[in-house]
């Protein structure tokens, strides 16, 4: 599960927190004022593979103002948490209005991937009313500083991501894919030659850079996640398995090591 973490202000989210997140998933940070520009204009965004965009809760004691050189600088402001939520909501809305052709290396449209708002209090902020976002309780601080042990934040995020993949999967056959569900693994393979016109609500064929020699795993059910680990263990224990077999395994089950 690959996640892009962002926030319109400086969040209460340090290196320890990011390291914790990377025990449960692959998490990268990008400042909120850079996200839309990155998705629209940075060529590397077309090679990315992100499952959800996570909006961190804004810091309650920091805001931003324009400095003498025109750059934004942080300053103490107790109202910044309220303002930051509204700024996060603006970024969310801008992502949802991106062009249809703004897509990742597997053809998934950036505008349609899940957007998840973290909240320490469990309350839904009014700034997000009417927006297509999910709310998830953030237990990062409770794990780091209070000894809390339940990974409910990441489990809930993975449930949301899997729901998204199931919705996208239902449209894949219409745009030329063979779709299978095997031991809780969602897998696709190209059946027809992809053309730019192959497009669905979630998928833009013109940006799909994959080569479909075999089936590719695009998602999994939480209670079936051990199946790929079992297959990998069998491969490790097979004395006849060589480099070619391992390359094939990771190509077909690329989400196993994420």
Judge whether residue 121 has pLDDT over 70: yes
Please give the Cα distance from 25 to 3 (Å, whole number). Answer: 7
SS3 2: strand
pLDDT band for position 60 (cuts 50, 70, 90)? low
Q: What is the pLDDT of residue 100?
A: 94
pLDDT at 94 > cutoff 90: yes
The torsion angles phi and psi of 126, rounded to 5 degrees, stand at: -65, -20
CB atoms within 10 A of CB 88: 27
- The DSSP 8-state label assigned to residue 58 in this structure reads B
Domains and CATH numbers, the chain: 2-162 (3.40.50.2300), 171-252 (no CATH)
pLDDT score for 110: 97
Distance of alpha carbon 228 from alpha carbon 220, whole angstroms? 10
Interstrand relation of 106-108 and 203-208 (parallel, antiparallel or unpaired): antiparallel
Reply yes or no on whether the pLDDT at 84 is more than 70.
yes
Contact (Cβ atoms closer than 8 angstroms) between residue 84 and residue 7: yes
Residue 195 phi, psi dihedral angles, 5° rounding:
-125, 160
Q: What is the pTM of this model?
A: 0.76
Length of the chain: 258
């Amino acid at each position: 599960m690959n996640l892009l973490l962002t926030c319109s202000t400086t969040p209460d989210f340090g290196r320890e927190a990011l390291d914790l997140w990377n025990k449960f998933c692959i998490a990268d940070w990008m400042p909120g004022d850079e996200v839309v520009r990155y998705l629209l204009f940075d060529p590397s965004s077309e090679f990315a593979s992100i499952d959800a965009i996570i909006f961190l809760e804004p810091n309650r004691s920091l805001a931003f103002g324009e400095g003498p050189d025109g750059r934004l600088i942080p300053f103490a402001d107790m109202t910044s948490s309220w303002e930051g939520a509204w700024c996060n909501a603006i970024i969310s809305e801008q992502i949802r209005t991106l062009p249809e052709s703004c897509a990742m290396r597997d053809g998934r449209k950036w505008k349609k991937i899940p957007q998840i708002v973290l909240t320490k209090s469990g309350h839904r902020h009014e700034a997000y009313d009417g927006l297509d976002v999910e709310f998830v309780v953030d237990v990062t601080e409770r794990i780091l500083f209070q000894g809390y042990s339940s990974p409910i934040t990441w489990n809930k995020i993975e449930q949301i991501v899997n729901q998204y993949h199931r919705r996208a999967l239902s449209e894949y056959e219409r745009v030329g894919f063979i779709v299978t569900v095997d031991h809780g693994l969602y897998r696709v393979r190209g059946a027809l030659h992809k053309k730019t016109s192959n497009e669905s609500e979630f998928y833009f064929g013109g940006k799909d850079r994959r080569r479909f020699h075999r089936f590719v795993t695009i998602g999994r059910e939480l209670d079936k996640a051990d199946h790929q680990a079992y297959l990998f263990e069998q491969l490790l224990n097979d004395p006849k398995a060589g480099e070619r077999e391992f390359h094939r395994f990771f190509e077909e089950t690329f989400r196993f090591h994420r």
